[in-house]
Amino acid sequence: MNRLLRELARTLRHEVLWDEGVEAARNACVAGAPISAALITAAAYYDNPFTGVRALVECMHRITSVPLEISDLHDSLANSPQPEADGLAFTPGFGFVTEAQAAYLRRKLGGWLRRHAALSRLERSALLAEHYSALCEAIGWLNPAGLTAFVFSDLGLSPDDAERWYLRVRLGPALRQAQRARQLGVGRFPFFSERYVYEGTWPEPVELDLSSLMQQVGID
Amino acid sequence: MTEPELRASAGIAVLGGQVVVHGRNLHAECSNMTFIGYFFLCATGRTLPANETRVLERLWIGTGYPDARIWCNRIAGYLGSARVDPGLALSAAIAASDSVAYGFRAMRAAYAVQAALPEDAPAREVWLEAALSERRVLHGYGRPIHGRDERIPWALRALADAGLRAGPALKRAFWLHRRLQQEKGIQMNIAALWAAVAIDFGIVAAEYDAFMLLLFAPGYLAVYADQRSRPPFSFLRGHQTRNP
């Protein structure tokens, strides 16, 4: 079990899975905020209901509450409106990853199933892998939270264990990149480099006479 | 074992009864305050005259910029786009604002500069000469992106509208502005003005730190709410600075 968890951790820390949590953490530290600011930022990000701990726990709940049959798994993982995500319909633990990220996760899962074949406890993961294409066509590609949900469920670990572990693992790259951003400094960060399209209306501009105001308040 | 004791002077909430804040009846005496006035009371234990509170409120409003490109707002944008709870998003944006280049630590440093400026004009010249020769960074002067800080005229307008004139600290702040323009071609930014106004209002450094904490919050929340209304993860997706 420990070896599998170490492999899962290495997988989740890989650069291919660096996401907006890493970027937001960079943002947090680049202007010289303490590392705690990056920690708070990344921890907030990885609380999200799509790929974060909330998705992980919900996915674990869904896959452990049904028998180990593909039809039951399929039904329990069906997309549904999620109140915590403004009613968007999705399956926590699935979707919201790029094709490259999804392929990477699928490849890793396949590798573990082959190498850890003696671990018959990886039953849900095996079922997922066997029916991956059909399942994911309906609900989206497996994402890091979903992969973790399947592994932790198969290993008989609790959602509390999963929450702590997942957050700890995902914070690592975010904090390291935040420190790197802080070393490189604001000058190397692309603030105000994006094309910014303001979609609202424009009021009339108003200019004030600074000299007159300085006189008015008694600044010579 | 003795019963644990918690001693406090900030106030007490007698649930179902009276709530006291720094000696005042919250509901009877504080309800008529502005939010900024009440916030100042909570942060410092005292109140300011209504016109000074109004100036502080307008200084806050004057910097609540809702532009997603601003570094602390970008965090709010990422988190709104990911549907992170607003409380966590606000916490993260505030934490990131505790920065040296911009934000709270820069503001603290700007306050220190204003507080260090000697009252006496000849002493100020000596102080400045030393600062220049030592190449000290004088926080509150020199705006990173553009030469002019558009918030300054509006801050002075807030003072004028409140029937207030510049106090001694604000006058010293502008003295330094003129001297640095002459010596280094740089200008005052709003952090110097905020600090000087605070000093003139009798706000000490620790109070300044505590009170100014939420002034960027409207900007964070504007960006958070805007990005939360758009498709998930659409905020700058695919543009991570992997190798800055």
pLDDT of residue A173: 96
Rounding to the nearest 10 degrees, give the CA dihedral for residues B224, B227, B230, B232.
-90
Q: What is the DSSP string of B154-185?
A: HHHHHHHHTT----HHHHHHHHHHHHHHHHHS
Q: What digits encode the pLDDT tens for the residues A145-187? A: 999 999 999 999 999 999 999 999 999 999 999 999 999 888 8
Structural contact between residues B216 and B64, judged by C-beta atoms closer than 8 angstroms: yes
Of A36, A45, A218, the CB nearest to B79: A45
- Mean of per-residue pLDDT scores for chain A: 93
Q: What's the gap in Å between the CA of B32 and the closest CA on chain A?
A: 29
* Distance, CA of B81 to CA of A70 (rounded, Å): 33
Structural contact between residues B51 and B160, judged by C-beta atoms closer than 8 angstroms: no
pLDDT at residue A33 is higher than 90:
yes
Pairing of strands B24-25, A88-90: unpaired
Of B67, B71, B157, the CB nearest to A27: B71
Question: Shortest CA distance to B159 belongs to which of B140, B146, B173, B147?
Answer: B173
CA end-to-end span of chain B: 58
CA atoms within 13 A on the CB side of A188: 15
Partners of B105 on chain A (C-beta within 8 Å) are 32-33
CA of residue A2 relative to chain centroid, distance? 23
Question: Shortest CA distance to B139 belongs to which of B108, B171, B116, B117?
Answer: B108
For residue B118, the cross-strand partners are: none
Partners of B154 on chain A (C-beta within 8 Å) are 208
Residues 6+ apart with CB under 8 A from A32: A182, A186, B99, B100, B101, B105
Q: Give the position of tokens 């702590």.
A: A164
pLDDT of residue B112: 98
Q: What is the mean pLDDT of residues A63-85?
A: 93
* Distance, CA of B82 to CA of A88 (rounded, Å): 12
Q: What digits encode the pLDDT tens for the residues A105-136? A: 999 999 989 887 776 678 999 999 999 999 99
Provide ipTM, 2 decimals: 0.94
Contact yes or no for B84 and A47 at CB 8 A: yes
Partners of B74 on chain A (C-beta within 8 Å) are 24, 27, 191
> What percent of chain A has pLDDT above 70?
97
Helices and strands of chain B, counted as H and E runs: 11, 3
Residues of chain B where predicted confidence (pLDDT) is lower than 70 = 143-147, 238-244
| Beta sheet of B24-25, edge-to-edge order | B11-13, B19-21, B24-25
For residue A94, the cross-strand partners are: A142
For residue A54, give the chain B residue with the closest CA: B84
* Distance, CA of A154 to CA of A110 (rounded, Å): 15
pLDDT band at A45 (very low <50, low <70, confident <90, very high): very high
For residue A173, give the chain B residue with the closest CA: B242
Instruction: Give me Rg for the CA atoms of chain A.
Output: 23
* Distance, CA of B197 to CA of B14 (rounded, Å): 37
What SS3 state is found at A212?
helix
Partners of A32 on chain B (C-beta within 8 Å) are 99-101, 105
Residues 6+ apart with CB under 8 A from B33: B41, B47
Task: Tell me the residue type at B61.
Answer: I
Structural contact between residues A97 and A105, judged by C-beta atoms closer than 8 angstroms: yes
Of B101, B152, B237, the CB nearest to A32: B101
pLDDT at residue A37 is higher than 90:
yes
Who wins on pLDDT, A108 or A192? A108
What SS3 state is found at B188?
strand
* Distance, CA of A155 to CA of A123 (rounded, Å): 9
Structural contact between residues B160 and B151, judged by C-beta atoms closer than 8 angstroms: no
